[in-house]
Amino acid sequence: MTITQPFDAVEAENDAATLEARAVSAWFGDHKVLDRVSLTMPAQSVTALIGPSGCGKSTFLRTLNRMHELIPGASLAGEVLLGEVDIYDSVWKLTEVRRHIGMVFQKPNPFPAMSIYDNVTAGLKLTGTKVRRDERDDLVQECLTRAGLWREVRDRLRQPGGALSGGQQQRLCIARSLAVRPTVLLMDEPCSALDPTSTRRIEETIADLTSEVTIVIVTHNMQQAQRVSDQCAFFLAEEGTPGAIVEHGDTSQVFDSPVDSRTADYVHGRFG
């Protein structure tokens, strides 16, 4: 596999580097939706972003791999560092940033007519990642295994991705993200469209991945946040103000002994 510059330094330093947001603010037009959000998302751990609807969790997630800037009229301030690298530095190519910081969306989005095999390798071309033809089969098997899907699809790799169940499609999307060897995986409510069994399967996949990939997950499901995450950040946008982090810390601390009464009210289901 050919690794392109300039992120080599990050890979050499740590396969699953720490992601750090420093004073990130975000706007849609003149509507400010995030105010100076700072958060360290440690390497090889799962960080859950929780909070009521509209508080800016998804927007924050999109600032972490430069997807926010694709929305017409959107702007932002602040810095996002992957290891020592500022991902907003103009010398980095967008495709390079995305290769290192992958994303899995709420609704599974495989290429429906494309085969399962080709879905897994689809990101390679898009990001300019070169893998020798004779190494591809191994890569496909490895990524489907890591995504917890290999045993279910190994006999039908040439069938279309769209023929899989919703939960399987989501795991296929995870396999596709893994094929470009990301350092970080961002997940925006990855289980909200799935049944409990598929949800459990994805949660197992997340647990298996954390030894290699830094994971940041948005979830509305408090039990899920407790099951999968090492640390949690509670976002809130109070009456007409932009979203901000009220509290963050180890998941057990945020749930069992929150410092702020608003966090306690939210995690105990008293609002939101």
Per the structure block, which two tokens stand in for 177? Answer: 């993200």
Task: State yes or no: residue 211 binds ligand ATP (CB under 6 A).
Answer: no
Report the alpha-carbon distance of residue 45 to residue 47 in Å, rounded: 7
Among residues 18, 25, 58, 65, the one that binds ligand ATP under rule CB under 6 A = 58
Residue 219: CB minimum distance to ligand ATP, A: 9
Write phi, then psi, for 247 (nearest 5 degrees).
-160, 140
Tell me if 78 sits within 8 A of 42, measured CB to CB.
Answer: no
Residue 68: CB minimum distance to ligand ATP, A: 9
Alpha-carbon separation of residue 234 from 56, 63, 151 (angstroms): 11, 17, 37
Report the alpha-carbon distance of residue 34 to residue 25 in Å, rounded: 5
Task: State yes or no: residue 107 binds ligand ATP (CB under 6 A).
Answer: no
Q: At what angle do helices 133-146 and 196-209 cross, to 10 degrees?
A: 120
Task: State yes or no: residue 56 binds ligand ATP (CB under 6 A).
Answer: yes
Please measure the distance between the N-terminal and C-terminal CA atoms of the chain and give it in whole angstroms. 46
Residue 226: CB minimum distance to ligand ATP, A: 18
Residue 57: CB minimum distance to ligand ATP, A: 4
In terms of CB distance, is 77 or 131 closer to ligand ATP?
77
Stretch binding ligand ATP (CB under 6 A), from 38-46, 55-63, 125-133, 250-258: 55-63
Per the structure block, which two tokens stand in for 95? Answer: 């495709």
Among residues 2, 30, 53, 91, the one that binds ligand ATP under rule CB under 6 A = 53
Among residues 5, 23, 54, 84, the one that binds ligand ATP under rule CB under 6 A = 54
Total residues binding ligand ATP (CB under 6 A): 11
Stretch binding ligand ATP (CB under 6 A), from 46-54, 120-128, 170-178, 263-271: 46-54
Task: State yes or no: residue 71 binds ligand ATP (CB under 6 A).
Answer: yes
Task: State yes or no: residue 190 binds ligand ATP (CB under 6 A).
Answer: no
In terms of CB distance, is 39 or 180 closer to ligand ATP?
39
Report the alpha-carbon distance of residue 179 to residue 4 in Å, rounded: 15
Nearest-5° angle of CA 199, CA 206, CA 211?
165
Write phi, then psi, for 102 (nearest 5 degrees).
-85, 170
- DSSP secondary-structure letter at 58? H
Among residues 33, 39, 149, 217, the one that binds ligand ATP under rule CB under 6 A = 33
Helical H runs in the chain?
A: 8-13, 57-63, 94-100, 116-127, 133-146, 150-153, 166-179, 196-209, 222-228, 251-256, 261-267
Residue 256: CB minimum distance to ligand ATP, A: 23
Residue 72: CB minimum distance to ligand ATP, A: 8
Among residues 28, 88, 105, 111, the one that binds ligand ATP under rule CB under 6 A = 28
Residues in contact with ligand ATP by CB under 6 A are 28, 33, 51, 53-59, 71
